[in-house]
Chain A
C-alpha cells in the first residue's frame, strides 16, 4: 500500500487532504504541519510520495523540497507541490525546481488521489 506524507501548515487543508487520500485513494497518510516536521517525517516514515504546500511560514515548500533533495535518505522520494498560484508562469517556476508535479489549489477532495496517482504514474 502506498504511503503519502501531506505537508501543509493549515490544519483543515491537511486533514481534508489526508481524509481524501485515505478514504478515496485507500492509501496510508502521515501529515506534517511545518517544513521542519516534514523533513523529520520524510526520514522516519519513508513515504512513497510527499505532497507539499508551497506557501508556509518559516520554511516554504520550495525550501523543504531543496532540503529533501540534499539529504541522501530523502533524495529519491517523489515530491508534488500544491499551489494556489494560478498563473502558468508562476507554476512553471515550481516545476523548474525539479519537483515531480505541481497541482493546483483549491483541490477537489474527490479527485485528489487520481491527480496524485496520475502525476506519479501510479497505476
Chain B
C-alpha cells in the first residue's frame, strides 16, 4: 500500500474508533432492549409489537456492527433476526444476546489492510446430524471432519430442537428417520429446518424406502432421501453437493437479447451463482459465438430484430450436435399461443419478462443440475462407480499440470486382476462382478483427495497418486493388494480369493502424458505378471521393470 493510502486508512480507522466510542451507548441500548425481549421470550411468545421492535433492533445491529469491526456480532444479530418470527419460545435468544453483548464489549477487530468485500463468506460449514445410532453419528462426523464441515451430532430431535435455538445455525442437516409414530418428531424437525430463512437443506436417512414415506418426507421440504445402508462417505458427498456454492462453477451460459439491460441483469444474476456468462446483443453472430463458446445452456430472447429467438432455436435444434443443448426463452408475451410457439421450436423452458431473479435462477439451476448429472453419468463406470477413461483423461491433464506447477511428484499405477477370466469361468459372471465392485471400493477407499481412481476397462484399473514418487506409490498399491487378498468371495464353486498385479510409473521420468505413462506402467505390469502375479513392479528407466523397491529385488511385494 502506498504511504498516502496507508495514511488515509489510518485516519478512517481512527475515525471508526472514535465514532464507535461516541455512539456505543446508543448501540448498547438496542442490546438492552433485546435482553429484555429475550427474558420475555423465555416465558412465552412475544407480543407482536415487541417482537417487531426486537427484529428491527437485531436488524440494525446486524447491519452496523460489522462496519465497526465486530463481524461476529453481525452474525449473531442476523441469526436472532432470522429466528424471531418462528421461534416463539425458549431461552435461545437469551444465550444469543449474552454472546452478542460479550462481542460488542470486546475491542473492535479492524483488519490491518482492508481486503475483500464487506461480506466475507464464512469458510466453515456446520452440519447438524441427528440420529439414534452413536456409530452413525461418529462415522459421519469422522468422514466430514477433513472437509471443512463442522459436525454437531445429537441423538434425538428434541435435543436438536433445543440446539437450533443456539448458534451455530446449521448449513445443512442429516436426520435419521424411522417411519411411524416414533419418527413424528424427526419430521417436525425436518419441517422446521426447511422452513427456516434461509432454508436449511435436509437429508433424511431411513431404513425403508416406501414410496409413501418418500412422499411424506418430500412434502416437508427435505431434499434427499437416502437408505441408511448407503454409508457415511456417500452421505457426506450428498451433503457437499447440497452445500457446494461452486456447483455451477465454470458452467457456461450464453444469453442472447438485443436489450443490453436484460443482458446485464442476466449476467449479474448468473455470475452470482458462479456461472460463466457470455452475452450477445446481435443475434446474427449467434452461430459463431455458439461454436466458439460451447455453452452448457442458452437463454434466448423471443423478439429480436433481424433474427428472432424462435428462429435461432430452430437452427440449434436442426444440428444433431446441439440437439441436447438446454434452451430457455425470455418472453414478454406469455399468451398460450406465444408459449406454444417457443415449445414447438424446441424450447426447454421459458421465463416471462420482466425477469424475476429467483425464478430465472431456479429454472436455470434446475437445467444445469441435470446437465451436470448426465455429464457425470457419462464419465462414470456404471458397474463400479469409478471414473471411466473419459474422466481419467481430463483428470490426468489436471494432475500433470498441478505436478508441474507445484513441482510435486505424480505416479500412476496400472492394475490388473489376476486370473480374472478363470474367476468368471469357474464361479460365474455374477461372482466376477462382485470382485470388480469390491475391488473398486477398496481402491476408492485407499486413495483420496487429489488422487484419481478409474476403471480402464475389463479387469484393468488405473490410479494416479499426486504427491507420491514411484516407490511410495508402489507401496501404497501393494497395501491395497494385501487388503484384496484378505477378502473371501463366494462363488458357485465355493469361496475363493483374488489378487492383482500392478505396474507403477512416474511422471515425467517414465512418460510425459497419459499415453506414455500408461505404456511404461503396463510394461512393468507385464513383468509383474510373468514374475508370478500378485505383485507390484515399478517401471525402471533402462533395464526394464524392477520389483517395487520397498522390498529387496529378490522378493517382489507378494502376499499369499
Report which A residues bind B (CB closer than 8 A).
10-13, 15-16, 19-20, 23-24, 55, 82-84, 86-89, 92, 96, 104-111, 115
Contacts and interface: CB of A to CB of B under 8 A. Distances in A.
Contact of A12 (B11, B23, B272, B354): B23
B64 A106 contact: yes
Nearest to B273: A88
Given A86-B78, A87-B198, A110-B9, A12 B20 contact: yes
A106 B19 contact: no
B64 A13 contact: yes
A106 B74 contact: yes
Q: Is the interface of B mostly helix, strand, loop or mixed?
A: helix
B386 interface: no
A83 B65 CA distance: 13
B118 A55 contact: no
B114 A108 contact: yes
Interface residues of B, number: 38
A13 B67 contact: yes
B67 A109 contact: yes
A83 B64 CA distance: 10
Contacts of A92: 356-358
Contacts of A106: 62-68, 71, 74, 118-119
A110 B7 CA distance: 12
B60 A55 contact: yes
Interface in B112-162: 114, 117-119
Interface in B255-282: 272
Contacts of B23: 11-12, 15
Contacts of B20: 12
Contacts of B68: 12, 16, 106
- Across the A-B interface, give the 3 residue pairs with the lowest CB-CB distance, nearest first: A110-B114, A84-B63, A106-B66
Nearest to B360: A92
A55 B62 CA distance: 12
A16 B67 CA distance: 8
A10 B64 contact: yes
B59 interface: yes
B405 interface: no
A15 to B, nearest CB: 5
B63 A16 contact: no
Interface in B1-54: 8-9, 11-12, 15-16, 19-20, 22-23, 26-27
A111 B117 contact: yes
Contact of B19 (A19, A105, A110): A19
Nearest to B9: A110
